[in-house]
Amino acid sequence: MFGTLFTTQDVVSSAYAAALLATFSTAALCFLGLSWTNEKWRVPLSMVGVAALASSLHYVGAAQLWLVAQMAGGGVRFAGWFTVHPLQVAAVYFFARAMGKVPVGVFWRMTAAALLMVFARYLGDAGFFNPTLGVLLSIGFWLYILGEMYFGAMPEVIHKGSRVVRLGYFWIRLIMTIGWAIYPILHFVDVVIGTGQAPGVVALYTLFDLVNLITPSLIVLAVAGQERY
């Protein structure tokens, strides 16, 4: 997309360009961090790195679609979310697993809930059933993930870790509580109310993708580095 001229007034193209560079840079930092972190942190660090890389590839396709057709197809966005959100949830599990034993069932339940969270919104967006029902089901699966993060086995294990680990987990959990709330809200505005892929909605999706993906990835990297040194 950097071979195509777009002005600062083109909010969507500017947001996509920023997201592409930011997510790719985050992935590069996470993969470089594998060389200076302890072995126990390599799984969660690899997962957030792959999630950032997948997101950058998604933005390549989204940017090309916008520049060619001035359209922001929901299918492109969902393709990214189907990969990124389960990887992020799995990374949180292995973040806690680095501190002690967490039942493997937590991993499978949270990962499945993340997939179903995205799938429910996708079905509503695609018109397979009522879009409002898709939003409500998505919120239900998201709340289940939060329940595991607040009241399940993971916080018990995290409390045994160092202050850096506890603080990192606190901020990651807070981002997934507040930041992830924007997805059902924007989906409701976009699909249920029917604003369509308006430039403002697309820009907000992109902004919160950056907050919800890059910040937790850098937190994992920072915690792994502090634990190492």
Q: For the chain, 229 residues long, give each residue's pLDDT as a single digit of tens.
A: 544 545 554 677 777 778 888 999 999 999 999 888 888 899 999 999 999 999 888 887 777 766 665 556 666 778 888 999 999 999 999 999 999 899 999 999 999 999 999 999 888 877 788 888 888 999 999 999 999 999 989 999 999 888 999 999 999 999 999 999 988 888 777 766 665 566 667 777 788 888 899 999 999 999 988 866 5
- Which tokens hold the place of 69? 């057709």
**Whats the size of the chain, residue-wise?**
229
Q: What is the pLDDT of residue 113?
A: 96
Q: What is the pLDDT of residue 5?
A: 47
Q: Is 96 exposed, middle or buried (0-12, 13-18, 19+ CB in 10 A)?
A: buried
Question: Is the pTM above the cut of 0.85?
Answer: yes
- The full set of domain ranges for the chain reads 11-228
Q: What is the pLDDT of residue 228?
A: 61
Pairwise CA distance, residues 102 & 117, whole Å: 23
Architecture of the domain delimited by 11-228: Up-down Bundle (1.20)
